[in-house]
Amino acid sequence: MKYLFATTILICCIFSHAQQIIVLGTAQDGGFPHIGCQNECLKAHKNPKMARYVTSLALVDPVTRQWWMFEASPDLDKQLQYFRDLTDGQYPYLPSGIFVTHAHIGHYTGLMFLGKEALGAKDVKVYALPKMIEFLKSDGPWSQLVSYENVSPIVMIEDQPLPITNTITVEAFTVPHRDEYSETAGFKISTLNKGYIFIPDIDKWYKWDRKIVDMVKDVTIDHAFIDATFFKDGELPNRPMSEMPHPFVEETMLLFDSEPASVKSKIKFIHLNHTNPLLFDKKAQNEVKGKGYDLAEQGEKY
C-alpha cells in the first residue's frame, strides 16, 4: 500500500511540474466579436462567453517559474491578466520573452502596451526572425519601444533551435504569407516531454517548400496549432477569397484525409476569422471533431 501511495505522489508531482502550453486566444487578428461584424458578432457582444481573444499561446515552465508568450496580440493587456487568472498568480506578470511570427496587426501590435504610455516595461525580450526585428528597430512607433528599452529585440536564426532553458528550445522557420514588412515565421517548441508546432498564418500549403503532413506526422510533435482562418471557399460573400489565400480548413482536412486518427488528433485549428463557423456553430465544430481533428480552445492547457 505504501508503494502505491508513493507512486501516486510521484505521478502528481510530475504532472504538477509538467511544462505546458496554455491557449490565450484563438481568433484572427480582429478578434471576436470583430469590428463591423453584424451577424454572429452581435450575439458575442451580448454574451461575453462567446467572445474570443486574438490568437496567442503561453508556454509555461513550473520548474523555473518562467513563462513565454507567443504573439503580442492587440489583446495582450487582457491576456496578461487572463494568464494570471488561469495560473492563480503563480508566475510573474510579464513573460520572460515574447515570440512574434510577423508584422500583421494580430501578431505584434500588443507590444504597444509595454511602452511609455502604458506599462513602461523594462527590457522584455522579443524574439523574431531578422526582418521582423529590423522592422521593430527602424519603424515608429515600435522603434521607440527599443530606444526606451521597453523591449529587447533578439534575432532568431531560421531553422536553428534556440535554448530558452535547459529543457526547452524554440525553433523558427519561414512560411509563405503576405510579407509587406517582415518575413512570416512558424515555431517549433520542444519541451522536456512534448513537441508543438505553431503556424497561425500561412498561404496555401502547396506554396510552402515543406510538407505540413510530414511535419505533423513527426514523432517528436504532439500538438500542431495551425492556420484555420477560413473554413471554406465563399465564406466572404463580398470579397474574392483569392485575395486571402489561407488554406481552408476543408483543404487541410482533405490533405490529412488518409492519415490515421493518431495524426489527425494532433491538429488544433487556431486563428479563426469571425466568419468561420468553427467559432460559433456546433454543427461545424462537431463535423471537424467527428473527422478526428481538434479545435484549440481558449483557456485550454496542453
Q: What is the pTM of this model?
A: 0.93
Write down the pLDDT at residue 146.
98
Residue 197 and residue 208 in contact, taking contact as beta carbons nearer than 8 Å: no
Q: What are phi and psi of 277, to 5 degrees?
A: -65, -15
Which residue ranges form the domains of the chain, and what is each CATH number?
Answer: 19-295 (3.60.15.10)
| CA-to-CA separations, 65 to 10, 23, 93, 192, in angstroms, rounded | 20, 18, 11, 15
Residues of the chain with pLDDT under 50: 1-15
Write down the pLDDT at residue 244.
80
How many residues are listed for the chain in this entry? Answer: 302
β-bridge mates for residue 174, sequence order: 185
Residue 247 and residue 254 in contact, taking contact as beta carbons nearer than 8 Å: no
Write down the pLDDT at residue 238.
79
Distance CA 160, CA 165 (A): 15
Residue 153 and residue 123 in contact, taking contact as beta carbons nearer than 8 Å: no
In terms of Cβ atoms closer than 10 Å to its own Cβ (0-12, 13-18, 19+), residue 203 is: middle
In the structure grid, which three cell numbers stand for residue 173, read together? Answer: 522557420
